[in-house]
A and B are shown apart, each in its own frame.
Chain A
Amino acid sequence: MMRGAELGLVACTTCELVMKAGNAAVGTCPRCGEPLRPRKRNANARAWAFLIAAAALYIPANALPIMETEQFPTYRTDTIMSGVAFLWTEGSWSLAAVVFTASVLVPMLKLGALGLLLVTSRKGSTWRQRGRTQLYRVLEAVGHWSMLDVFVVALLSAVVQLGRFARVEPGLAVIPFAGVVVLTMLASASFDPRTIWDPHD
C-alpha cells in the first residue's frame, strides 16, 4: 500500500481533494480554501496542552457536587460517583451503568487513550498501528457522549421545580465537567492520526 507522503500527494483535511504535495507549499486548498499542510500543525504539542488542561479540570469535575436534590423531607447532594452509587443501591442498575459509562468510563478512557496515542506516535512506534488508528476513531466517536450528565442535570433542574415538594438544583461540577468534554474533544481533534504511520525521523 502506497502512502500519500511517499507518492508526493496530499489530501485536504476538509474537502478531501487529492493534489500534488507541491501545492501544500502554496498554502490553501484550491477547492475549499482551507489551509493545506502535510500534517496538522504542532499536533502533539497542542494535543498535550488540551489533554493536561482536561486532566486538571477532571479533579474538580469529580470532587464538586453535580446535583442537589430536595425531595421532602430528604435532601441530598451528589458528586458524579455518589450519584452513580446511589442509582446502583436503589436498584436502577441499567441507569447506573449508562451514567457510569458516559460520565466516568468515557472521560477516563479518553484521557488514558490520548496519552497513549501521543506517547507512541512521538516515538514513531510500529506497534499495533491499525489498532491505535482504530482507538483514535473510537475516541472521535465517543468524545461528546460524556456531555450526558450536563444535559441530564440541566433537564432535571428545569422540570423538577415543584416548590417544597421536590426541587433539583445543578451543582458547580457541571462547569468543569463540560470543560473536560470540550477540552478532550479539542485534544483529539488536534492529534493527527497519520503520524501513527509515519516513520520516525
Chain B
Amino acid sequence: MELTICTYCDTVHRRPPVSRGSAARCRTCEASLYHADSDLGAMLAVTITAAIAFVVANAFPLITLTASGRQTAATLWSSIAASYNHELPVVAITLAVTLIVAPLVELLMLLWVLVPLAAGVRPPAFALVMRAMHALRPWRMVPVFLLGLAVAVVKLTGLAATVPGWGMFGVAVMTIAFASLASFDREVLWRRAEELRR
C-alpha cells in the first residue's frame, strides 16, 4: 500500500492517484500533498519555454526611459551593475542570486534530469541534483521581480516616457512557466529513476 505523510502536520495518508490538474489535500491541515502524475514531455516543454524566457529576460532591456532627448534603459545586468557601483555589493549579490543564479541553475538541473529520463536513461548524480534543486527553490524570486518591474513602470510614468521592454516580457513568461513547473509532481521523477536503476 502506498503511503504519503503530510510534511506540515505528520498525518499519514494513503496515496490514491488524483485526476490531472487537481491536487490531493491533507485531511488534517489542508496542505497540498501531491499532484497528478507528471507527463515528462509536458514538463520538458515548459522547462524549455522557461529557458528561452530566461535568455530573453537577460538579453533585452526591461524598461526604456526617454526624457528631453535622452534615453536610458535598465537591463537585469545593468541593475546589478548599478547596485554594485553604488557601493552596495550586498544588493548586487541578492539580485544576482535570486534573479539569475537560482533560476538558471534550477533550469539547467531540470534539463539535466528530464532529458535523460525522457530518453530512458538514469541521469548521472540524479539524487544529488534533485536535492540541490529542492534546496535552491526558495531563493528564486522571479515573480517578485515582475511585480517590482510593474511598480517601477508606474512610478516612472509621471517622470518620463516609459516603455516596458522585451526583457520584461521574458520575466513575465518565466513567472508563468515556473508557476506551471511547481504543479508537476516530482515523485514521478524519483520513480522513473528508480525503475531505470534496475
Contacts and interface: CB of A to CB of B under 8 A. Distances in A.
B17 interface: no
A33 B9 CA distance: 23
Interface of B: 3-5, 7-12, 27-31, 62-63, 65, 67-68, 70, 72-75, 78-83, 86, 88, 90-91, 94-95, 98, 127-128, 130-131, 134-135, 138, 141, 144-145, 147-149, 151-152, 154-156, 159-160, 186-187, 190, 194
Contacts of A33: 127-128, 131
A26 interface: no
A151 B148 contact: yes
Given A31-B190, A144-B138, A197 B94 contact: no
Nearest to A186: B138
Given A2-B11, A11-B5, A178 B144 contact: no
A175 B127 contact: no
A159 B156 contact: yes
B155 A156 contact: yes
B144 A159 contact: no
Range of interface residues on chain A?
A: 35 or more
Given A166-B159, A194-B10, A134 B144 contact: no
Contacts of A158: 74-75, 78-79, 81-83
Given A1-B28, A154-B82, A155-B152, A160 B72 contact: yes
A71 B159 contact: yes
A95 interface: yes
B74 A155 contact: yes
5 contacts: A4-B12, A95-B155, A98-B147, A150-B94, A155-B79
